[in-house]
Amino acid sequence: MFFLPLFDDNPTKGTPKVTYSLILINILVFIYQLTLNPDQEYRLFLDYGFIPKEFFESTYIGYFELISSLFLHGGFMHLFSNMLFLYIFGDNIECILGPIKFTIFYLICGFIASIFQGIIDPSSTVPMIGASGSIAGVLGAYFLIYPRANVRVFAWIFIFVQIINVPAGIVLGFWIIGQFFSLGSNDGVAYLAHIAGFVAGLMIMVFTRNKSNLSAQEQRTKPFSSTSFNDAYKHKIYDQRKSSGIKKYD
């Protein structure tokens, strides 16, 4: 059994410039990583990753690695999964907050995620990298604001392959529950950072959302109905380019 979200059925009017810029920067940084040999890449992680011991023992204000660590990734799948979730859910949260506030929101969620993960072992010298904490914040915000919006999910169940519309509340609810169940795993994934980022994003939106800027919560498609990839993709493009009277960017 395999499930992979592809895109949501929750269009916006306008180009999510910050979201696309973040995706581009992460990809460019990863391409640069591919030019390095293993020793050089690890040196890059040491220089620009978040190292708990350095952070908690630092005496100067400002720790650049809180930012730089959010743009480094440990492999293609690490990058792909993060950028896919940012692409699916980032545009709607950027639409609500506007580009400047969304950028600040993205960074703050990443900072909180890294710090909470570091608290587990503040003496650790292992560099933490990845945009997962920031993107988890985006997921938490989306979970709060658009739980009924359908997400088109690629489902592979034994020999059956379909794209199914699943409410975001279920998709993201299963995701965050999975992070809790994975706590304590020794697979090198910072699950507490994911949880902290998710909660941070949710709580920030609780206190900052402007209800007048939110779209109606009607579902545009029937939950748990299936479609072909071609039809789902065409519908997504149509929503992006030709829909009118929907959410506008600040």
What are the tens digits of pLDDT across the range 190-213? 899 999 999 999 999 998 876 545
Angstrom distances, CA of residue 90 to CA of 81, 163, 231: 13, 21, 23
The answer to whether 150 touches 89, Cβ cutoff 8 Å, is no
pLDDT of residue 30: 97
Number of H helices, E strands in the chain: 10, 4
Domains and CATH numbers, the chain: 12-148+168-213 (1.20.1540.10)
What is the sign of the dihedral through the CA atoms of 85, 86, 92 and 96? Answer: positive
Judged against a pLDDT cut of 60, whether residue 243 lies above it is answered with: no
Task: Report which residue type is found at 131.
Answer: A
pTM of the model: 0.86
What are the tens digits of pLDDT across the range 101-116? 999 999 999 999 999 9
What CA–CA distance (Å, rounded) separates 90 from 102?
A: 9
